[in-house]
Chains A and B, each alone.
Chain A
Amino acid sequence: MTPSSTVRTAGGRASGPLDVDALLADPGLEIVVCCGSGGVGKTTTSAALALRAASQGRRVCVLTIDPARRLAQSLGLTELDNTPRPVDGVGADGGSLDAMMLDMKRTFDEVVEAHASPQKAAQILANPFYQALSSSFAGTQEYMAMEKLGQLHAEAIADAEHPRWDLIVVDTPPSRSALDFLDAPERLASLLDGRLLRLLLAPARGPARLFSAGFGMVTSALGKVLGAQVLRDVQTFVSAFDALFGGFRARAEATFALLQDSGTAFLVIAAPERDAMREASYFVDRLSQDRMPLAGLVVNRMTTPRADLDPDDALAAARVLRRTNGSEPAPDAEANGRGDDAREPEDPAIVRRRRGANDDVVAALLDVHVEQARICARERRTVRGFTQAHPRVRVAEVPSLPTDVHDLAGLRRVGELLAASTR
């Protein structure tokens, strides 16, 4: 740290590496949230971090959202029962790992059952509008992920002497935008507590002044679009759900406050592509707006050539090799305006004597390296664009793996790679 580190210079300081092990070893850390746009390896990163923390003595619970089938199986997540189950044979130094997969509809049902009388709950669960809302409303998954996180955290700290978990790692829904995780719960809460639903409830109990012209227009428009049956379903839902209103917003706000707590760390996950990095950038800005603690950026699937060889030198050598074996015309032949067809065909024996038996295959090896080096350079530029804009964000780069990760050994490997960026 330089004394002037609080002063941002024009170019910004180069971001330091993210020390994953130091992060996981911090006893003050209670929650890690992995965010980022879909398809960047969030679930794998969450599971790998959780596994690594467990092997370093933390009692961890990992909440995954929609993991790939084989990864889920490797964590013993064969049944969706919406509660954390121990992962066998994992953990060291007193550490352990419990894993669960979010079932959003079931989480919603449980919220209803926990907060309404049995009779009301049954009425709500059977309502067609509720069924649509709980299984497919855009935002329900995000809301229920937060709801579940709140529940797990409450369960973890219930027994202060012997907390069941001392670290919760949360994967977030595979949305188009990383911001959805922060925005969606508010959307659902505003809907459920919103003016419109109150308005629809009005005929059932409200004073006459609510029967304004506006109300008539609203219900008639909704009736026209959705049909009268839907409107009745919604009204039935609203009157049954009435007792739960307010609770939704209160719980969403409580979880939001939990996310702003110093015991929480956000990790933004990205792939070294323009779109994913742009999302990561938006998300980092948003976290600082919402005063949420950012631990750093994880860039998955970095192309990392094994050979340390300048691509221009490799390209030049490949050219020479192809020229000596006749698969590429000598430059002077072209310069003299004489293409291949103008040259005398050479005796194959002479060609064979002059060329090495390995020229072609080594030239191809060089081609592979050149392509890797170019992709690597492009990816580094993309990441550098981010670090220049966010000079204080710490970064961990994870090299791309030849195959998908779908077992504990693979997850351990990813954990090692995550931690290796500081070494």
Chain B
Amino acid sequence: MAGQTRMHVVTGKGGTGKSTVAAALAVGLAAQGCKVLLCEVEGRQGIAQIFDVAPLPYEERQVAALDDGAVYALAIDAEEALLEYLAMFYRLGRAGKALDRFGVIDFATTIAPGVRDVLLTGKVYEAVRRRDDDGDPVYDAVVLDAPPTGRIARFLNVNAEVAGLAKVGPIHRQADSIMTLMRSRRTRVHLVTLLEEMPVQETLDAVDELTAAELRIGTLIVNQVHPAVFDDDEIERISNGGLTAASVRRTLRSAGLDLDGGQAQALLDEGRERIERMRLQAAQRALLDDAGAPVVELPAVSEGIDLAQLLSLGETLAEALP
């Protein structure tokens, strides 16, 4: 079990692969014997795509089973969550549907953005706290594929968001309870990044914002890391011209490959560019290391990820998380 964390929030800049990482983490926790709920909140049906199942409705469905563990998935929809909320707290079951005619649902979920986020996180909160008949938690862990880094602090800091809007009343109380869970030791926010300038900058900004909002940072997850291809001595020889196009050509010829001088130079240039990228990545990695949170690297995998790959990434993740 990954420590005492029950609620894993996974965020990252768009394009960093945060949804894949969230899915991998859920699978990795399930491989440790957990019953895990994986939630998405942006209506993208990303989970269905990753696990290659039909689009998910607003109900918890099993998407993967491992020895003793399992991954259930839920696509949280703000309007459905609002109807459920009205039914639960106000017994407004069928009447709730009638509200649709007036655009109330649309109004309450899109106009008051704070309210929308309270409804979305409220559903996750309910799943984390849900107990079975014996009083045991239904889910050992909940993984949330959260909004991107640009919006994450606002999304999680719901009571600050609704403070100006709903000073009292049910939404306000709900936001307070959610906030207590979000700030507790049971919740961690993991940030997914690539070793590139903009995602790293956004990650560092988000770490500051989340910390200021008293939310706990979990792990910084560096995604799609390519293995180093050159050792220090080779880097030196390629960068400073010690290795010439002529000698590359000779060596290739000894291996039965005949290239002209221009092509041999092009190969060398590809190597130089790779080294330049390795250096940039090392500099970005150093910035992450200074952020004061544990860092874990995940290897690059080709597109069209399958369960075996999710499992291998997930095991790396589940072991690394505090």
Once the chains are docked, how many angstroms separate the CA of A321 from the CA of B112? 65
B: interface residue count bin? 35 or more
Q: Interface residues, chain B, CB within 8 Å of chain A?
A: 13-15, 42, 44, 82, 85-86, 89-90, 92, 95-96, 98-99, 101-104, 106-108, 110-115, 148, 150, 154, 164-172, 196-198, 201, 226, 229-230, 234, 237-238, 243, 247-248, 250-252, 254-257, 259, 263, 266-271, 273-274, 276-277, 280, 302-303
- Chain A count of residues within 8 A CB distance of the other chain: 71
Q: Interface residues, chain A, CB within 8 Å of chain B?
A: 37-40, 68-69, 128-129, 131-133, 136-139, 174, 176, 187, 191, 194-196, 199, 214, 217-218, 221-222, 224-230, 233, 271, 273-274, 276, 305-309, 313-314, 316-318, 320-321, 324, 356, 358-362, 364-369, 371-372, 378, 402-404
Partner of A361, one of B165, B201, B237: B237
B106 cross-chain contacts in A, Cβ below 8 A: 191
Known: A195-B103, A228-B169, A378-B303. A317 touches B256 (CB 8 A): yes
Known: A174-B14, A307-B270. A378 touches B302 (CB 8 A): yes
B15 cross-chain contacts in A, Cβ below 8 A: 38-40, 271, 273, 276
> Do B104 and A222 touch (CB < 8 A)?
yes
Interface CB pairs A-B, < 8 A, 12: A136-B113, A225-B85, A225-B108, A228-B169, A306-B267, A324-B254, A356-B250, A361-B234, A362-B251, A368-B229, A403-B280, A404-B198
Which of B108, B112, B276 has the most A CB atoms < 10 Å from its CB? B112
Which of B92, B154, B234, B271 has the most A CB atoms < 10 Å from its CB? B271
- Please give me the 4 A-B residue pairs with the lowest Cβ-Cβ distance, nearest first: A227-B169, A307-B266, A39-B15, A306-B266
Beyond A226-B112, A229-B168, A306-B266, list 14 extra A-B contacts (CB 8 Å): A132-B112, A132-B113, A137-B113, A196-B102, A196-B107, A307-B267, A316-B257, A320-B255, A358-B247, A359-B251, A364-B229, A402-B273, A403-B197, A403-B280
Partner of A221, one of B86, B111, B254, B263: B86
Partner of B111, one of A191, A214, A361, A404: A191
Once the chains are docked, how many angstroms separate the CA of A133 from the CA of B107? 11
Known: A133-B111, A226-B166, A226-B171. A176 touches B42 (CB 8 A): yes
Q: Taking CB as reference atom, which chain A residue is nearest B168? A: A227
Q: Taking CB as reference atom, which chain B residue is nearest A71? A: B198
> Do B267 and A199 touch (CB < 8 A)?
no
